[in-house]
Structure 1
Amino acid sequence: MGEQDRVLVGEIGAAQGLKGEVRLRSYTQAPADIAGYGPLEDESGARSIEIERVRVTPKAVIARIKGVTTREAAEALTRTKLYLPRAKMPAAEAPGADEWYVADLVGLKAVSPQGDEIGTVVAIHNFGASDIVEVSSAAGGENLLVAFTETTVPEVDIEGGRLVLVPPEELAE
């Protein structure tokens, strides 16, 4: 199964407590939904990871992984990325809807409204307020971090392999 056939849905963080629970970084819209997809895969695709139970607290998403009953076993999973086969992902709500999976955006060319290449999307971040698109600059130098809004990203063309990026004026020099 190729990388495009799977979607990154979360990552296991630190162990929580002594009975094998883990903190979980969920990339699903509602954090608890990560437990509803059935078995997930690790980065290699060789290991199946099943979330038995999840609870969302004000500070973290806490999960119990099937077969993990000790703190040591939980610690061994720290930083494991969790993938779901794309075929098991729900489809966008409506054709043409402004919904994409982060996996579909990473790797797109970022171009100006005039069509000039700005760089390549390397990540989408969310630090609590809103999504941020990170673009590696085609001209070299530091990556650009731009709020992912309708104003700054007015067009996303997955099939065409690009998105239009309108950087803030101070960066557009």
Structure 2
Amino acid sequence: MNEQQNIEFKSKWTDNILKTVCAFANTNGGSIYIGIDDKGNPVELKDIKKLMEDIPNKIKNIIGIVPKVNLIEKDGNCTSTNLPEPEMSEEMNGFLLVIHKYEGGSEKSSEKSSEKILYLISKNPYTTISEIANTLSITTRAVEKQIKKLQENNKLKRIGPAKGGHWEVVE
């Protein structure tokens, strides 16, 4: 199996992968194999069980979707956390996130976006509007509008200048 438009290999989890998750969710879906390098070779992952719990929660909290997560062991066995086993053409060692096209939900998207923005800022107070927009796959203007509302509602405060300052989430 090789990387394709809807298949990504990642040797380890980083929050940067959230951009790929957003892209898959907003297009035709896809699969992310974590623990596989770009050439398709298995890479050792530490504390896989913790990753399998933490990553879906992170994706749900930031992006608002719940991916299928499956553990694929060297012998080809697969353990699913919430959905059926994926079909595999080769033995892999790592785990698989399957991201489906997001069909929307009943919550207002602006409410979800503001919660996601607060979460991202709480994790990195020095983040930029562009970084937030890229992570959430929304426009910078949409982020600016949400930030303005959050500031008006006293949920978010800017400390210092636009360049060199940081955000503070007000509890």
TM over 0.5: no
More helix by proportion, 1 or 2? 2
Larger RCO of the pair (alpha carbons < 8 Å, separation 6+): 2
More strand by proportion, 1 or 2? 1
TM-score by length of 2: 0.31
TM-score by length of 1: 0.31
